[in-house]
Amino acid sequence: MEYTLREMMTVVAAREIKNDDIVFCGTGISMLAAMAAKSINAPDCVIFFETGAIDAALEEIPMAVADSRVMYHTASSGGLLDAFATMQNPTTGQKVIGILGAAQIDIFGNLNSTVIGDYFSPKTRFSGSGGGCDVASFVPRSMIFMQHEKRKFVKTLDYLTSPGHLDGPDGRRKAGLPAGGPELVITNMAVMRFDDTTKEMYLDGVYPGIEPEAVLEQMQFSVDISRAREVMPPSADELNILRDKCDPQRLIL
Amino acid sequence: MSKLVKDKVMPLKKAVGAYVHDGCHMAIGGFTINRNPMAAVYTIIRAGIKDLHLYVHSNGQGVDELIGAGSVSKVEIAYGGSGKFAATCIRFRKAIEKGTLQVEDYSNYQMTLRFLAGAMGVPFLPTRSSLGSDIVDKWGFSENLRRSDPKLPNRKLTVLDNPFEDWGNTEKVVLVPAITPDVTLLHVQQADRAGNCRMDGLSFADVEQAKASRHLVVTCEELMEGDALHENAHHNQIPFIHVDAVVHVPFGAYPTACYQHYDYDPVYLKAYAVAARDDEKYKDYLDTYVYGVADHQALIERIGTERMESIKADPRTGYAANLDRR
């Protein structure tokens, strides 16, 4: 079955979600991945939003984390204080997996969603942190969605909005952050993970028909490609669920 | 007027006139495309109020319209975006890129803690969020600005070693300063004449924003008579003792959503995003939809019953099921 790269990205993310995960979602493709996971491989996972909604029944895809669609049939309707406390709760917080996106990423998975250019006179301004910095600071595991482009995989971020592994293996501890940080980066070409020892990004998988070298060409920094394997494409079942059940209006796909 | 008065109902123009002034420090509630106090926002714009110092966490339409109309000179914010309609708020972005808006960036949780600190009467609250990030290192407001405005703290934030040593497995904390706005504007589903407020669905950080503020203006979908809200009072989030003015404004959050009443209007928000990208078109937008209508009721009439019917909330889900949102 034919599939788009956005569909591939969504399915790859959905497969990472386990049945006992509490999935923290942002706006866009991450919501679709969480909805897909609930229908495909992790029916009992709990979706939650920084706006305070826990375990909403997502019958339609929300356009923002404050969309009324996240308020329907929740287990609890709180606010931002509750949501960020859940991420830091010594028991429930350990089950949270964050899904983030950004304009720039570096080799340690630090993210920029604030500005391109000088912070004080930016060339391009983005939305800013929102809850991104909070999630990246608190949760033990996170995955990141990125478009694979040279201007996005940068040697040095223009602004560090959300901490990944900071400057390496000991970065988070030195800064005073809890352990954790990004586990994987899902792009429109490949899946990258972070080395256990160096905390540097490496190429874990490429999508069918994509050469590892082509992935490197779309990055300002070099990563280890020796561990790369081919990622399994979405199955017909996965695609049907995604298209017919999760996003029939094609709002995200 | 005392906050303990039992009847605070007044027209919106009067409430805005009484509590929102040039240069005042103001917060608005809601989140991106939901429950923004839009009727109040448009009233402020029509009144020509300028130089506002605005506090929000993640806001979209309200922030963008206030900035676009030239009402805001400084903003403390975590996120400016309107979901799929504008991943970054368009007039907000233009104003920062042109250098006409001063910005201090925080995270959502930090802004929420800052409002909570204001509500609690403590100077700051701690968090671990943002350690190692540029939110800590880069300050948007100059030292001069901070010194010249007695309503601003001397620092954006402070990183401190845990004074309890390693208690809580935490070596360092970020202290974020309290916010005490002159006025906060909220839109809620139900309020009574005294100002007791009941929100359906998510409350975002509205409760903290309300209680941090010196004055609070509430617009409501439904004005509840008598002591109706004293029944099942556990569903009320804000008691009347924090409230200065209550204004009955049906569709007061339009074009953003109000759970259980109506959805956001995709037609309006899409057309807004197109207009906001072009200075001339944006002027036309303001002339037609903001300055060109006398009040919020007139805006709703201009939109017309067919569109308003299309976003009416379905009683089961609380939103407009199957609304065409493309």
Residue B225 Cα, gap to closest chain A Cα (Å): 26
Asked if residue B256 and residue B169 are part of one domain, the reply reads: no
Task: Tell me which residue of A17, A45, A19 sits closest to A33, measured CA to CA.
Answer: A17
- The helix (H) or strand (E) run that includes residue A174 is helix A171-175
Closest Cβ–Cβ partner in B87, B135, B321 for A133: B135
- Is B78 within 8 Å of A65 when comparing Cβ atoms? no
Nearest 5°: CA angle at B301, between B91 and B243?
Answer: 70
Residue A252: inside a domain: no
Instruction: Check: CB of residue A55 under 8 Å from CB of residue A47.
Output: yes
Q: Which residue of A has its CA nearest to B83?
A: A64
Domain identity same for B263 and B304: yes
Smallest CA–CA separation between B50 and chain A, in Å? Answer: 23
Residue B194 main-chain phi, psi, to 5 deg: -80, -25
In chain B the beta strands, taken as DSSP E runs, fall at 25-28, 52-55, 58-59, 72-77, 79-80, 102-105, 124-127, 158-161, 172-177, 183-192, 197-198, 215-224, 245-248
Whether the predicted pLDDT of A23 surpasses 80: yes
The one catalytic residue in A50, A59, A217, A230 is A50
Find the CATH number of the domain harbouring A151: 3.40.1080.10
Question: For residue B10, what are the contacts with CB-CB under 8 A and spacing of at least 6?
Answer: B18, B245, B246, B247
* Residue A112 within a domain: yes
Chain B contacts in chain A segment 140-169 (CB below 8 A): 159-163, 166
SS3 A22: strand
**pLDDT score for A253:** 85
Distance CA A168, CA A109 (A): 10
Is there a single domain that holds both residue B226 and residue B108?
yes
A202 in any annotated domain = yes
Per residue in B222-267, pLDDT (tens digit) is: 999 999 999 999 999 999 999 999 999 999 999 999 999 999 999 9
Last residue within a domain, chosen from B139, B155, B177: B177
Contacts of B28 in chain A (CB under 8 A): none
**Partner A contacted by B184 (CB < 8 A):** no
The count of domains in chain A is 1
Structural domain of residue B149, as residue ranges? 124-177
Give the CB-side neighbour count of residue B50, counting CA atoms within 13 A: 2
- A2 tagged catalytic: no
Last residue of a domain, one of B177, B205, B240: B177
Does a structural domain hold residue A164? yes
Q: Do B281 and B225 share a domain, yes or no?
A: yes
| Predicted local confidence at residue A60, as pLDDT | 93
Measured between CB atoms, does B71 come within 8 Å of chain A?
Answer: no
Q: What is the mean pLDDT of residues A224-234?
A: 97
Nearest CA in chain B to A137: B129
Query: What's the whole-number mean pLDDT along residues B31-39?
Result: 98
Tokens of B150: 């007695």
* Chain-chain contact of A176 with B259 (C-beta, under 8 angstroms): no
| pLDDT (tens digit per residue) in A63-78 | 999 999 999 999 999 9
- B89 close contact with A: CB closer than 8 A: yes
pLDDT tens track for B10-29? 999 999 999 999 999 999 99
User: Would the CB atoms of B60 and A69 count as touching at under 8 Å?
Assistant: no
Please provide residue A37's backbone torsions phi and psi, each rounded to the nearest 5 degrees: -60, -40
CATH number for the domain harbouring residue B132 = 3.30.30.40
Neighbour-count burial for A76-115, b at 16+ CB within 10 Å, e otherwise: ebbbbbbbbebbbeeeebebbbbbbbbbbbbbbbbbbbbb
Q: What CATH number corresponds to the domain at position B44?
A: 3.40.1080.10
Contact indicator for B206, B186 with CB cutoff of 8 Å: yes
Residues of B in contact with A91 (CB under 8 A): none
- Say how far apart CA A213 and CA B27 lie, in whole Å: 50
Residues B92 and B211 in one domain: yes
| Within a domain: A132 | yes
- Give how many domains chain B has, as a whole number: 2
Same domain assignment for residues B25 and B109: yes
Q: Are strands A229-230 and A201-206 parallel, antiparallel or unpaired?
A: parallel
At residue B1, the pLDDT reads: 77
How far is residue B132's CA from residue A175's CA, in Å, rounded to a whole number?
A: 5
Q: pLDDT band for A1, please (50, 70, 90 cuts).
A: confident
C-beta separation of A11 from A39 below 8 A: no
Indicate if B239 and B146 belong to the same structural domain: no
Is A253 a member of any domain? no
Q: What are phi and psi of B181, to 5 degrees?
A: -65, 155
Note whether B301 and B187 are same-domain residues.
yes
**Residue A186 to residues A144, A190, B145, Cα–Cα distance (Å):** 6, 6, 42
Q: Note down the domain range covering A136.
A: 5-246
pLDDT per position as a tens digit, A155-208: 999 999 999 999 999 999 999 999 999 999 999 999 999 999 999 999 999 999
- The DSSP output letter for B238 is B
Q: Is residue A162 part of a domain?
A: yes
Residues B134 and B199 placed together within one structural domain of the fold: no
Indicate the pairing of strand B197-198 with strand B183-192: antiparallel
Q: Clarify whether residues B171 and B301 are in a common domain.
A: no
Q: Are A127 and B97 inside 8 Å of each other by CB?
A: no
Token code pair at residue B43? 């009233």
Please identify among residues 209-248 of chain A the ones whose CB lies closer than 8 Å to any CB of chain B.
Answer: none
Q: Which one of B57, B134, B322 has the shortest CB-CB distance to A80?
A: B57
Percent of all residues in chain B with a pLDDT value above 90, rounded to a whole number: 98
ipTM reported for the complex, 2 dp:
0.97
CB contact under 8 A, A175 and B132: yes
User: Under an 8 A CB cutoff, do A68 and B201 touch?
Assistant: yes
Q: Across residues A216-237, what is the average pLDDT? A: 97
Residues of A (62-91) whose Cβ lies below 8 Å from B: 62-73, 77-81, 84, 88
Domain contains A203: yes
Residues B7 and B152 in one domain: no
Please answer yes or no on whether B108 and A250 come within 8 Å at the CB atom: no
CA distance linking residue B238 with residue B217, whole number of Å? 12
Please identify, among B141, B157, B177, the residue that sits at the C-terminal boundary of a domain.
Answer: B177
Domain co-membership, B157 together with B117: no
Query: What pTM did the predictor assign?
Result: 0.97
Contact B173, B156 (CB under 8 A): no
